[in-house]
Amino acid sequence: MNRVFKATVVENKKLINNHYLLTLHPAVKIKKPRPGNFFMVAVETGLDPLLKRPFSIHRWIDGNFQLLYRVTGKGTKILSEKKPGNILDILGPLGKGFPFPGKDRQVILVAGGIGIAPMYAMAESIKDKNPLLFYGTKTKKDVLLVDDFRSMGVDLRISTDDGSYGVKGNIVNVLKKYIARDSLKAPYVMYACGPAIMLMKLSGLASEYKMKGYIAMEQNMACGIGTCLGCVVKTRKGHKRVCKEGPVFPIEEIIW
């Protein structure tokens, strides 16, 4: 199936505080993305901004798909101004997604800030496992989709930096306390997405408790298909491309 396609904006809804939910209808049938896959979206047809922007799949609804994004710069600002009926050039789905957990494994999801975007797709794909979601944001206003996760049967643990919602502090510490108390009775597998600092702390935790885990990495990229070599991250096996070998990597593989 063609991975170069056009899609019509069905809805571009402001959720809260610079966070938007974009629903797109592809003009042609596209390959169903796996959780952790991403799309490159051209926010303009002109020369500035020049490059497409990568967004992970948030939700797939009967052939339409949703991207959840935060306005952080020029590209996402323009994207936030798109109206229903606007048509966007898109490339995807791209990259390697999250592998499915083993049959007997409990699932822990960890999201920091906008890292919640791919976690929704992941939670939905394994909802029969009643995953636990550890979700940290700066403040109450940034906490998204709580009801959606709950109605899916996800057990949510929330923390905010300022304590305005859930536990005050870092979500990795919340997870650490949980693990220490629970002593990992069942074998767990962890899936995470969020800021580099959070992922780095998680990798420390994973090695301390010998947890299996996968993390979705982010990096500036130009092509999304493995040729510009712009998006590499340092791994134990040398530089690897976020767009091709990633964006999902085994947590122990990344060098921080």
- Residues of this chain that interact with other proteins (CB under 8 A) are 3-4, 42, 47-52, 91, 219-223, 225-234, 238-239
Cβ closest to other proteins, residue 85 vs residue 238: 238
Compare residues 19 and 244 and give the one whose CB is closer to other proteins. 244
As measured in angstroms, the least distance from the Cβ of 88 to other proteins is: 13
Find the shortest distance in angstroms from Cβ 54 to other proteins: 12
Closer residue to other proteins in complex, CB, 114/223: 223
Distance in Å, CB of 5 to other proteins, minimum: 12
Smallest distance, other proteins to C-beta of residue 34, A: 18
The per-residue DSSP string of the chain comes to --SEEEEEEEEEEEEETTEEEEEEEESS--PPPPTT-EEEEES-SSSSS-S-EEEE--EEETTEEEEEEE--SHHHHHHHT--TT-EEEEEEEESB-PPPPPTT-EEEEEEEGGGHHHHHHHHHHTGGG--EEEEEESSGGG---HHHHHHTT-EEEEEETTSSSSEES-HHHHHHHHHHHHTT-S-EEEEEES-HHHHHHHHHHHHHTT-EEEEE-----SSSSSSS--SEEEETTEEEETTTT-BEEEGGGB--
Rounded to whole angstroms, how far apart are CA atoms 234 and 241?
9
Nearer to other proteins, 11 or 44 (CB): 44
> How far apart are CB 75 and other proteins at their closest, in Å?
8
Kindly tell me which of 170 and 219 has the beta carbon lying closer to other proteins: 219
Q: Cβ closer to other proteins: 173 or 219?
A: 219
CA–CA–CA angle 60, 97, 232 (5° rounding) = 130
CB of 33 to other proteins, least distance (A): 16
Nearer to other proteins, 53 or 176 (CB): 53
Distance, CA of 231 to CA of 233 (rounded, Å): 7
CB of 42 to other proteins, least distance (A): 7
